[in-house]
Structure 1
């Protein structure tokens, strides 16, 4: 798959699709480092902003992690915790506070799930590691 600048699909989406395909095929295995922003830009002859946007998209999908000074790497497959909502409970997805992001070690763009129990108790769980089940 090549990046087609004449396509109606934005360049950053094309690059994200290409990288996602390589991750899903195992070409970029969990834990492996992705090429740098500069390398991807040069290899695909696209602007660095398009690379940044593609990386941000994949990060928001939970496929990759980035760290200043360490680069970008493929995340290990996440184990999801199954939470059964009890009658009278409610759940919403929202963006975490800075403190919640730090405490849960969440990547930017990953939401949290806030569950309110029938007695008003509140639980906040990482959205990329939680699956809600209705009874």
Structure 2
């Protein structure tokens, strides 16, 4: 339920509701979200507010927007295991535009940068890698 008089912004309340549906599995990977118009009518809010909520979920990497088809729950990418070697260090940052294109990264998805002892770096999409130690 959305409460316009609550301290929390209405778009955040809608984002919370949709996020809960995604996390609970009510909206599964690849499934479309209801249209902006339907969400606006269902919750008695403006389409601008709906767009803000969808933008929030997109930034969190939970949905993808495929114009003109609609908004869909993001399908998780397969996870790669990367074993860190002795002396390797890891840092996280937001990707450059080139890295975003190379790795097909959604908005808001960071990268992990692994630096070896000799200074060589390798960039991994943070949503598709799991780091382990030997």
TM-score interval w.r.t. the shorter chain?
A: 0.7 to 0.9
- Structure 2: unaligned runs, 5 residues or longer: none
1:62 matched to which residue of 2? 61
SS at match of 1:69: coil
Match of 1:39 in 2: 38
- Correspondence 1:86-105 to 2 at 5 A: 86-105=85-104
- Taking structure 2 as the reference length, the TM-score comes to 0.85
Deviation at 1:42, TM superposition (A): 2.2
Correspondences of 1:1-135 after superposition (within 5 Å): 2-134=1-133
TM-score by length of 1: 0.85
Which whole-Å CA distance do the structure 2 matches of 1:85 and 1:107 have between them? 25
User: Which structure 1 segments of 5+ residues have no match?
Assistant: none
Q: Residues of 2 paired with 1:62 and 1:130: CA distance?
A: 15
Runs of 4+ in 1 over 4 A off after TM superposition: none
